[in-house]
Amino acid sequence: MGDGVLPVDAWKSGFVPHGPGGSAHLPVVGHAHRFHLLLLDAGLSKLAFTGSDGGQPTRGYLLDVGSGQWRTITPEGTTSVMLAPNGKLAVGKTEQGGFELFPVDGGQSTPAKGISSSEEPVQWDGSSRHVYVWDRRFPARIFLVDPWTGERKKFLETMPPDPSGVLYGNFYITPDGKTYAYRFRRVLSTLFAADGLK
- The CATH number that applies at residue 120 is 2.120.10.30
What is the torsional sign of CA 28, 173, 128, 59?
negative
* Rg, Å, the chain Cα set: 19
- Yes or no: say if 177 and 188 are a contact pair by the CB < 8 Å rule: no
Provide the pLDDT confidence category of residue 111 given band limits of 50, 70 and 90.
very high
Has residue 23 been placed in a domain? Answer: yes
Has residue 193 been placed in a domain? Answer: no
User: Which letter, b or e, does each residue of 133-165 get, where b requires 16 or more Cβ atoms within 10 Å of its Cβ?
Assistant: bbeeebebbbbbbbbeeeebeebbeeebeeeee
**Domain tally for the chain?**
1
d(CA 61, CA 75): 10
Closest CA to 56 of 75, 82, 80, 29: 75
Provide the pLDDT confidence category of residue 138 given band limits of 50, 70 and 90.
confident
Q: Is 8 helix (H, G, I), strand (E, B) or coil?
A: helix
Has residue 196 been placed in a domain? Answer: no
Q: In this predicted model, what pLDDT tens digit does every residue of 15-29 receive, in sequence order?
A: 565 667 666 555 554
Residue of 182 and 71 predicted with greater confidence: 71
User: 43-52, 74-83, 112-121, 187-196 — which is least confidently predicted?
Assistant: 43-52
Segments forming the whole domain that contains residue 57: 4-186
d(CA 4, CA 68): 8
pLDDT at 30: 42
Has residue 195 been placed in a domain? Answer: no
